[in-house]
Structure 1
Amino acid sequence: MKVRTENPKSFRDFKLSSFDCFGTLIDWNEGVYKALEPIRSRLPESHPLYTDRRGFLSKFSSFEVPLVINNPRGIYSTLLSEAYMKLARNFGQTPTEEEGKAFGASVGDWPAFPDSVAALNSMKKHYKLVILSNVDRTSFAKVLAGPLAEVEFDAVYTAEDIGSYKPDINNFEYLLSHVEKDFGLKKDQILHTAQSLRADHAPAKLIGLDSAWIVRGDEGFAMGGEWADYDGKIEYTWKFETMEEISKAVEKDFRQQNTA
């Protein structure tokens, strides 16, 4: 992985920031881990994954990711339910359909990271804000009514709208074409801000889209991919640990322009 060093850019070069949601703005790890508690609680305390949060989330992802990739027109909440059932059965459990449905419907209950709302509202002063997310419209409506209710997005493009899931390059082509149609902006005016290496930064490089990597700590692997697996496949423009950090960097850049 490397940072683009040729032709260094300023945050002032962009007019719009597109965002991945789950893992970047919404704490996927915390939300999913809590919603999977019925399965985890049935494991014997001696099971190696009973107290291994990282391993438990990775195990869930081993079922969720293939379902999403192999069912591009599947509704995300339904695919989540299927992944839940597969995980439980893998542990020798017999989950009820109600359990699976409850997990699929839990998306709106997953918490935002503590800095997400303030950071987004700060960046809103300078950019159009657009969501590009592997989610269905109904589930994301719950997010907009819940943890991100205080943020006004200019557009939301979901996997259900597009008919495929990231990292399919089609999702990013959809982003570019709709941003041009909806806002009259070109690719070089868009900054894609995301945590996931697999779903966002790898295809962003393929399509030539500037990106900011929001690392979000050591658990990003669960849905975003292991760092070592993407060596040479990622070329982000900026790297920050949190949304708070990038929002402050954006604000500083624009403030310098105003005082120049």
Structure 2
Amino acid sequence: MDDLSEYTALSFDVYGTLIDWERGIATVLAEWSARRGETLEDEALLLAYADNEAAVEREFPTLAYAEVLQAAFRRTALTLGIEASDSDVQELGRSVPDWPAFPDTHDALVRLQRHYRLIILSNVHREGIAGSIARMGVEFDGVLTAQDIGSYKPHSRNFTVLLDSLRPLGVEQRRLLHVAQSLFHDHVPAQQAGIDSVWINRRHDRPGWGATPDPGVEVTPGLEFASLAAFADAVDAAFGE
């Protein structure tokens, strides 16, 4: 990855990279735990939640993401020993379109769009991604969701479908760069698929894995940036801007 100008397309994980899913999830979980008289820090809630969501996605690969969120919430409540009602879990299930974009997302995407085709490879349902695209205010050249693919990352099928989607766009595999925060969901399977990747390490100033499970294996993304804006700066420099 000596020259970012050699790539012609970027594929993006959305939640954790472009949309602040930890803030979205933690907001709902914190309000729920407070209603139950508990005072848990956001990090504790996210840590309890992370493995439960990954387990639900693995066990029920065709379940719509809104239902994944609800099932993961129920398991998290059991893990923490806190009661969760149907209305509690439904609140998380319908919250995806309300999750905020990171402050640098829109402007960085606009800058990156001058140089690359932009593709979404996301672990959500169509309704959720539509709401998030509206928040980001950028048009993408391709949108692939778990609902379309029938499985959730880190399943290898998701990256096979991503590579198949390049042909109609006239993009060669070696010209694709995958941009993501999650080592577990994205960088490990991207590396296994032979796709170069850039780590947007949104948690660079915080310990632990947050809402993302430990990848469990060694993985070394080609480049690492603390923000999408920093990555866009490097891209502009590579293209002589």
Q: TM-score, normalised by structure 1?
A: 0.86
Query: CA offset at residue 153 of structure 1?
Result: 0.8
Structure 1: unaligned runs, 5 residues or longer: 1-7
The answer to whether residue 159 in structure 2 is matched with residue 172 in structure 1 is yes
Name 1:80's counterpart in structure 2: 69
Residues 1-59 of structure 1 show CA distances to partners (whole Å, capped at 9, x for unaligned) of xxxxxxx43111111000000010111111110011333214545xxxx3432121010
Q: Partner residue of 1:254?
A: 239
Alignment of 1:61-76 (within 5 A): 61-76=50-65
In 1, Cα distance between the equivalents of 2:40 and 2:79?
Answer: 17
Question: What is the distance in 2 between the residues matched to 1:163 and 1:202?
Answer: 19
- Cα gap change, 1:192 to 1:220, in 2 (>3 Å): farther
Contact 2:57/2:152, CA 8 A, preserved across alignment: yes
Paired residue type of 1:252:
A
Match of 1:204 among 162, 181, 190: 190
1:230 is aligned to: 217
* Alignment-mate amino acid for residue 160 of structure 1: Q
Contact in 1 for aligned 2:70/2:90 (Cα 8 Å) = yes
Q: What is the number of residues matched between the two proteins?
A: 239
Q: Distance in 1 between matches of 2:214 and 2:83?
A: 31
Identical amino acids, percent of aligned pairs = 35
Q: 2:96 aligns with which of 87, 90, 107?
A: 107
Q: Which residue of 2 is the match for residue 151 of structure 1?
A: 138
Structure 2's unaligned 5+ residue stretches are none
The answer (yes or no) to whether the contact 1:22–1:28 under 8 Å persists in 2 is yes
Letter of the 1:55 counterpart = A
Report the CA distance between 1:219 and its aligned residue: 6.1
In 1, are the aligned partners of 2:65 and 2:123 still within 8 Å (CA)? Answer: yes
Tell me what 2:15 maps to.
22
Give 4+ residue runs of structure 1 displaced > 3 Å after superposition. Answer: 42-45, 89-94, 223-227
Contact 2:108 2:229 in 1 (8 A): yes
Looking at structure 2, the residues matched to 51 and 86 of structure 1 have their Cα atoms a distance apart, in angstroms, of 17
Please tell me whether the aligned partners of residues 211 and 238 of structure 1 are also in contact (alpha carbons under 8 angstroms).
yes
1:39 and 2:16 aligned: no
Deviation digits for residues 134-182 of structure 1, max 9, x if unmatched?
A: 001111111122x21x1111111000111110001110010001111x2
For 2:80 and 2:209, how far apart are their aligned partners in 1? 22
Point out the more displaced range, 65-74 or 80-89.
80-89
The one-letter code of the counterpart of 1:99 is D
Report the counterpart of residue 4 of structure 1 in structure 2. Answer: none
> Is the 1:19–1:131 contact (alpha carbons within 8 Å) kept by the matching residues of 2?
yes
C-alpha separation in 1, matches of 2:238 and 2:64: 40
Q: Distance in 1 between matches of 2:24 and 2:46?
A: 11
Q: TM-score, normalised by structure 2?
A: 0.93
Amino acid aligned to 2:190 = A
- Equivalent-residue separation in structure 2 for 1:75 and 1:245 (angstroms): 33
C-alpha change, 1:219 and 1:101, in structure 2 (3 Å) is farther
- Tell me how far apart the structure 2 counterparts of residues 207 and 10 of structure 1 sit (CA, whole Å): 21
RMSD over aligned CA atoms reads: 1.7
Paired position in structure 2 for 1:191: 177
In the other structure, the counterpart of 1:127 is 116
Q: Which is higher, the Rg of structure 1 or of structure 2?
A: 1
What's the CA shift for 1:86? 2.4
TM superposition shift of 1:62: 2.5
